[in-house]
Amino acid sequence: MKPFEGKRVLITGGTGSLGKTLVRRILSGEMGDPEKLIIFSRDEAKQHFMRVEYQNRIAATDEIIYHNFQQKLEFRIGDVRDYSSIASVMPGVDFVINAAAMKQVPTCEYFPYEAIITNVMGAENIVRAIQEHHLSVDTVVGVSTDKACKPVNVMGMTKAVQERVFIQANMRCPGTRFVCTRYGNVLASRGSVIPLFHEQIRNGGPVTVTTPEMTRFLLSLQDAVSLVFDAIKGAQRGETWVPRAPSSLVTNIAKALIGDRDIQIIYTGIRPGEKTHEIMISEEEAYRTVDRGKYYGIVPMLPEVSGDEVFTSARTGEYSSAEDVMTLKETEQLLRDRKLMLEDASPREVEILR
C-alpha cells in the first residue's frame, strides 16, 4: 500500500526536526512517489538551507528560489496561524501532515496565547479551509504529544485541544479522514535532552538531571515518522495512535552517554510543568483504547465519529514511561543501535539543530 503515489502532500512546519525527517522518508518512495511535496513554514532561512541541500548546491545563490513551483519539492512561506495563508496552499492537496507547533514548554508558559494561536487556531484554520472551500483532502494527520494526555502545562493543554479540533472535524468535513498521532519526547530532536547531555559531556560536566526517578520513552525521529505513515495507512477516522515504545530512567540515559568518563551527574529538581513520567494514554482513555499491532489506537469519544464499532479494550490502566523500564545495559545498547552515543551523533546534531 503506497498512499502517496501520484498524490500531493502538504507538511506544515516542514522545516522542523520532524518535518525534515518526513521529507527524507517521503522522497525515498516508501509511501509511493508523490506528484508534489509542499513544505509550508514561516521561516525563510530554514527553507533556504533546506532548498540548497536538496538541490545539491555547494554555493547558494539567489537563483535557487526560481522555478520553485515547478519542482516536486515545493517550498511555501506561510503560517498556519493565518487562515488566508493556509487556505491558499491547500487546494489540490490530498494529504496534510500538521507538524507546525509551538512545542517548547517554558515558551508556551510565558506566551500562552501565542501557543493557542499556533496549536489550536492553526488546526482550526486547516479544518475551516477544507470545510469552507469544499476541498477534496483525503487525510489530515494532527501531530500531537504525550503532554496532551493529562496536561499540566500550556503546551499540553493546547495540544489536547488540537486533538479534539481534528477529531470533531470528521463531522464537519465528512469527505476527509482526520486522525492524530501522539508520542513522547523524540531523541536528539531540537530542544531534547540528548543534545544537552552531549554538550555538557563535551564541556567536562556536570550532567544535569532533574530527578533520579524521572523516566522517558525512547523514540527516534524515524519512529515518529513511521507512526505518522502507519496511521495514514491504517487509522480509523478520529483515532489517536500511540506507539508501544521502550522507556528508560533519564539517569540511565546520562550514564550510558557518559560511559567511562569521569563526569558527575547532579540533580536539579523537577521543572515547572514537567512530569516525572511521560503518560501517553490516561486511565480515562484506557477503556476506549484498542490494539493496532505496533500501536495503540484511542477511539474517539464522540459517537458520531466512532460509529457503531464494537471493540475490546487493550488496556486496563494508563500507559506511562514508568511501565517496563529498561536496564542501564539495555538503554546503552538502544542508544548505540540508534547511533546516538556522543562519538556517533555530533554531525547528526549539527544537521538537526541547524
Each residue's pLDDT tens digit, 257-267: 999 999 999 99
Residue boundaries of the structural domains of the chain: 8-185+219-245+279-321
pLDDT at position 68 is: 61
Contacts of 308 by beta carbon, 8 Å cutoff, 6+ apart: none
Q: Rounded mean pLDDT of 25-43?
A: 95
pLDDT tens-digit map of 117-160: 999 999 999 999 999 999 999 999 999 999 999 999 999 999 99
Sign of CA dihedral 113, 115, 116, 118: positive
- pLDDT level of residue 111 (50, 70, 90 thresholds): very high
Whole-prediction pTM: 0.90
Q: What is the pLDDT of residue 191?
A: 64
pLDDT digits (tens, 9 = 90+) for 268-307: 998 877 889 999 999 999 999 999 999 999 999 999 999 8
Closest CA to 218 of 194, 197, 245: 245
| Catalytic annotation, pick one of 7, 147, 159, 275 | 147
Angle at 283 between CA 279 and CA 286, to 5 degrees: 95
CATH class of the region 8-185+219-245+279-321: alpha beta
d(CA 163, CA 153): 16
329 tagged catalytic: no
Which helix (H) or strand (E) is 12 found in, with range?
strand 8-12
40: confidence class by pLDDT, cuts 50, 70, 90: very high
